[in-house]
Amino acid sequence: MNAPQQGFKERADAELKNAVLKIAIDRTTGNAERKRAVAVAAFPEFQAARARGRAIKDHVIAHLDHYLEMFERNATAAGATVHWASDDAEARAIITRICLEADAKLVTRAKSMLGEEIGLPHALADAGIERVETDLAEHIIQLAGERPSHIVWPAMHRTREQVAILFKEAHHPPPAADDPATMVQSARRELRARFLGADIGISGANFLVADTGATCTVTNEGNAELTTTPPRIHIVTAGIEKLVPSTAHAFALLRLLVRSATGGEMTQYTTLHCGPKRPGDADGPEEMHIVLVDNGRTRMLADEFRPMLRCIRCGACMNHCVVYRQIGGHAYGGTYPGPMGAVLTPVLDGLAQSRDLPHACTMNGRCAEVCPVEIPLPTLLRAWRTRSWRERLEPRSVRAALGLWAMAARRPGLYRLGSRIGVRALRLFGRRGWIASLPLAGGWTAYRDLPRPLGRTFMEQYRAEQARKEGRR
């Protein structure tokens, strides 16, 4: 991953000023939130399904070695070649080598966040291989030269109106109108020829099915099938946490995934890819390569971030996050945005590069409430804060201020004295009930007024009252 130059706060501030971005975010996440609520309400067993989903993932995570071996054995028996990549660089090297050995000129790609995580688009470009993104939103991202801002809707940050302008410039001939149907038709026409001319198709996998060795892709556009079937070679890239014991388990999780992501009941296209074309098959790739990527995942297995391996990448946490809904996905600076990204980015890019992310959260708990596999996201974000503190990554001023405060909070007499002085000092800055500007608290008063303390602390008044009562006795 190329770390962005600016810091998180600068990126967030820039996005906050982008009024069009806010319109785009509200449309997509607002819709997603409403549709998910309807879908969950219409599925009375949702809580039970959620508990089952969590149990499936926990079981696989606890027996990862067992299921990885089973998957490799069965995928190999089905005719696929399984590759193991311990990190992003190794994954890139394996994939480029396959492409170069096949003398591939054109590669089609179905949307995969893991591909983004390992930096695949850049690696292909560096190897001189032309890449065509086949997912509609990824097509938009590719035309705009951007990176995904959401794990389900990569082009979520762009309004329909902006996409119309983009297509008019890039499509030949340009779309005749800028209604969604015409624009989608135009993208289909652009992409169709490329599907058939590609040497290699690269997809991700929503599930890796251990007992059959199949990989499962789900889309609503059918682009995964068109990416993986016509070319001579199909390459799958998947994180090792995508394993499930059987097809039935994959479908139990799919019920949660689709409802949580789009509010649908089922994806339009759900395909199990089990090995390359067999003798007598009408079509399908001649070679199938599956690249299993670790990239920090086994490290998570051993530490407090283990529950994050349950994540099925539905995006519900970001759709329901007040911070994501103000700043969008790019401001996070990593592959994965929102609450799940704030947990994963420090794993992938290092905590020192991303210490803002676990802090840029109000701890309101809504993400955990909607997570279909019950990941305690706020707890995990807090765990990063604890690490950041322990590793002395927190600014010295914060450490000093908190140390001073904690010293006083251990001494009730001193703490009460501090409060008494504090409220009297605060009163000097305000008039008629409110403080409009306060030194050292500009973060508050830049945007809102501060209620002026009424003069005496509760403890002062309470003790005076107790003393009065004692006197009367």
Partner 1 sequence: MSAKPNPRVGLFVTCLVDAIRPGIGFAAIQLLEEAGCRVEVPQAQTCCGQPALNSGDDKDAADLARRTIAAFEGHDYVVLPSGSCAGTMVHAYPELLAGDPEWAARARDFAGKTHEITSFLVDVMGYRPRGRRLDATATYHDSCAGLRELGIAAQPRALLASVEGLEMRGLEGNDVCCGFGGTFCVKYSSISNAIVTEKAEAVERTGADLLLSGDLGCLMNMAGKLHRRGAKTRCFHTIEVVAGRAGGPAIGEEG
Within 316-345, which residues bind partner 1 (CB under 8 A)?
322-323, 326-327
Q: Which of 224, 243, 257, 368 binds partner 1 (CB under 8 A)?
A: 368
Interface with partner 1 by CB under 8 A: which range of 156-164, 186-194, 282-290, 381-389? 381-389
127 binds partner 1 (CB under 8 A): no
Q: Residue 199's closest CA among 114, 278, 121, 101? A: 101
232 binds partner 1 (CB under 8 A): no
467 binds partner 1 (CB under 8 A): no
Q: Residue 53's closest CA among 250, 309, 262? A: 250
Query: CB-wise, 106 or 408, nearer to partner 1?
Result: 408
385 binds partner 1 (CB under 8 A): yes
Query: CB-wise, 100 or 436, nearer to partner 1?
Result: 436
28 binds partner 1 (CB under 8 A): no
Q: Which secondary structure element, helix H or strand E, spans residue 345, and what is its range?
A: helix 338-349
91 binds partner 1 (CB under 8 A): no
Interface with partner 1 by CB under 8 A: which range of 104-112, 140-148, 179-187, 385-393? 385-393
Q: Is 457 helix (H, G, I), strand (E, B) or coil?
A: coil
40 binds partner 1 (CB under 8 A): no
Calculate the alpha carbon distances from 382 to 46, 126, 220, 224 in Å.
Answer: 28, 38, 36, 37
Q: What is the 8-class DSSP label of residue 231?
A: S
- CB of 327 vs partner 1, minimal distance in Å: 6
Q: Parallel, antiparallel, or unpaired: how do β-strands 434-435 and 450-451 relate?
A: antiparallel
Query: CB-wise, 282 or 406, nearer to partner 1?
Result: 406
Look-up of token digits 């082009």: 155
Q: Parallel, antiparallel, or unpaired: how do β-strands 207-209 and 106-109 relate?
A: unpaired
Query: CB-wise, 20 or 322, nearer to partner 1?
Result: 322
362 binds partner 1 (CB under 8 A): yes
Instruction: Please give the Cα distance from 307 to 304 (Å, whole number).
Output: 8
Q: Which of 65, 451, 464, 467 binds partner 1 (CB under 8 A)?
A: 451
Instruction: Please give the Cα distance from 50 to 36 (Å, whole number).
Output: 14
Q: CB–CB of 209/247 below 8 Å? A: yes
Residue 414 in tokens: 């001193």
Q: Is 76 helix (H, G, I), strand (E, B) or coil?
A: helix
Instruction: Please give the Cα distance from 368 to 376 (Å, whole number).
Output: 5
Query: CB-wise, 4 or 284, nearer to partner 1?
Result: 4
User: Footprint of partner 1 on this chain (CB under 8 A)?
Assistant: 9, 12-13, 16, 322-323, 326-327, 359-366, 368-369, 382, 384-390, 394, 398, 402-403, 405-406, 408-412, 415-416, 419, 422-423, 432-434, 436, 441-444, 446-454, 456-459, 461-463
